[in-house]
Structure 1
């Protein structure tokens, strides 16, 4: 299936049972007893998710979830717990957990949750790759072309942009054409969509 499931549970019997189940349906599985052990491992390039016990010695599953979010690395998480702790489950779901399963859970429920988590990760990775391409194209623009692009996507006319930037309309047209070529877009709607994707990039906002 070309996907990896990381299992973090301090109970060796549970960890092995979950790992065995996941391997039986074709997933690559890596098991860990603590959150610290998991953090030492690279996720790699293939889709992955995390099956995580919420109560662990030392840092808890919720602590790990928050740490991953702070690091900007957030593999989809399926929480498992032997305690029906509603406040903890609410906190986990608010921070983006895919599912919260209470032991003992049905094997199919776990498999369904893992399948959903991996689909989410595949989508996030695809979106990340698409954003990286758009950002690389934006980085080829000159400072002036970036200024022109910023105005074009707001619907400003060439004449208005020329007045704002102290340029001739002909020069604006040249820059506008260069922007369309370098961003590899077919028209204004595509350029607007690209700009929307870039809008939340802090480095671009500072440029």
Structure 2
């Protein structure tokens, strides 16, 4: 499996050094960008990956770029490069959603270890996103009325309460409930509700 790594740093020497280091890994595909603006300009064309992002750059700084990434997509894991001793910057980066941070000058072994963890996190996120997308797709199979019924069930309402809210009979609610269970291909109400909760995470994301 290929690991897409994006290096964003306005220091050419740092970019070159990082590229040499990580390019030794046979499964890494590395691209570098001289500024946050250059990275964001090509953002939509990039495959999911890990972003090694410098905190202090001319133009858009690391936090600005990180916030932009988080506002657009969840398909990237961001590691921040910070100056040695800049603890407050590291804290700001973590609060903004960075997975981890590396201090300059970096230790090569420590950096590679952190990148391994970052790619493991990316794999985890990709699996979660895939599960959320699948849940949304399955729920899209329901009719509007079936969707209302399962929403009531997810809210903890009984069949009678749902029937009263929708102004239909409890027996009709039972029919809708049975139909949506078949459409969702689930064996229990708990499984159906789990799909709802997972899909809600996708909407929130």
| TM-score (norm. length: structure 1) | 0.88
Cα separation, 1, equivalents of 2:55 and 2:165: 56
Asked whether the 8 Å contact 2:54–2:82 carries over to 1, the reply is yes
> What do the CA deviations read for 1:18-67 (whole angstroms, capped 9, x no partner)?
112111122110011111111122222xx510011111111111110111
Asked whether the 8 Å contact 2:131–2:198 carries over to 1, the reply is no
Cα separation, 2, equivalents of 1:110 and 1:152: 48
Cα separation, 2, equivalents of 1:81 and 1:156: 51
Aligned to 1:180: 181
Residues 156-167 of structure 1 mapped to structure 2, 5 A cutoff? 156-167=157-168
Asked whether the 8 Å contact 1:134–1:183 carries over to 2, the reply is no
Structure 2 residues not aligned, in runs of 5+: none
Q: Say whether residues 1:115 and 2:116 are aligned partners.
A: yes
Aligned to 1:9: 9
Cα separation, 2, equivalents of 1:189 and 1:29: 44
Instruction: Measure how far apart 1:96 and its partner are.
Output: 1.9
Cα separation, 1, equivalents of 2:162 and 2:171: 11
Q: Say whether residues 1:132 and 2:149 are aligned partners.
A: no
> What do the CA deviations read for 1:129-168 (whole angstroms, capped 9, x no partner)?
1111111121221111011111223443334433332223
Aligned to 2:103: 102
Asked whether the 8 Å contact 2:129–2:202 carries over to 1, the reply is no
Aligned to 1:20: 20
Q: Say whether residues 1:92 and 2:99 are aligned partners.
A: no
| TM-score (norm. length: structure 2) | 0.89
Asked whether the 8 Å contact 1:81–1:101 carries over to 2, the reply is yes
